[in-house]
Amino acid sequence: MQYLSVHNARILAVLAVFWLLLSGHFTALLLMLGAVSVLLVIWLIRRMDRVDGEPVRVWPTFGLAGYLLWLLWSVIKANVDLALRVWNPKLPIRPVWDRLDTSVETPVEKTLYANSITLTPGTLTTDVHEDHFMIHAVSQEGLDELREGEMERRVRKLGL
């Protein structure tokens, strides 16, 4: 309790840089205000860690960056599909709402996977359960693509 862990020190450094980038002023008063708010946030984080019980730490890695790039690409593809669906009355709008069985286990993987599905337009996670998600998709194809499981493989490969 009385000492700062390595984890806290890293967050402190990130927050300090963040403050400097956002403020851009280097007068004594503003630097002092920055120090106070950074320390306040650290104090709050330490309190929250105690309640949380099993803190999960995710640090940016190359694997994560690669995954985000791949996610960006699939988001763009899904957006083009959805934009065509909006403008072209001939393309059908046939929403489906069904369960998607998943084998992701850890909370971080689940969070990442569910959020990735929601972020991709055309598919939406409405509920997260132990071994399956409820997915609402604007077309059957979107759901089928998820069932093929490329996104899931990529999430699992990160090993979070």
Selected binder of other proteins within 21, 28, 29, 69 (CB under 8 A): 21
Report H helices in the chain: 6-23, 28-52, 62-87, 107-119, 140-148, 150-158
Among 119, 149, 156, 158, interactor with other proteins by CB under 8 A: 119
Give the pair of three-digit tokens for residue 29. 């008063």
Encoded tokens for 136 = 């609402």
Q: Which is nearer to other proteins, 11 or 133 (CB)?
A: 133
Nearer to other proteins, 132 or 156 (CB): 132
Among 57-65, 88-96, 100-108, 148-156, the segment contacting other proteins (CB under 8 A):
88-96
Cβ-defined contacts of 42-47 (< 8 Å, 24+)? 42/4, 42/8, 42/11, 42/12, 42/15, 45/8, 45/11, 46/1, 46/8
Could you say which of 2, 62, 93, 130 contacts other proteins (CB under 8 A)? 93
Report the distance separating Cα 95 and Cα 116, nearest Å: 19
Q: How far is the CB of 37 from other proteins (least distance, A)?
A: 15
| Smallest distance, other proteins to C-beta of residue 154, A | 17
Run of H or E residues at 132:
strand 132-137
User: Would you count residue 134 as binding other proteins (CB under 8 A)?
Assistant: yes
**Which one among 87, 130, 148, 153 touches other proteins, defined by CB under 8 A?**
87
Measured CA to CA, the distance from residue 114 to residue 125 in angstroms comes to: 6
Q: Rounded to a whole number, what is the distance in angstroms from the first to the last CA of the chain?
A: 27
Q: 66 to 85, contacts with other proteins by CB under 8 A?
A: 75-76, 79, 82-83
Give the residues lining the site for other proteins (CB under 8 A): 21-22, 24, 75-76, 79, 82-83, 86-87, 89, 91-97, 114-116, 118-122, 124-127, 134, 136, 138
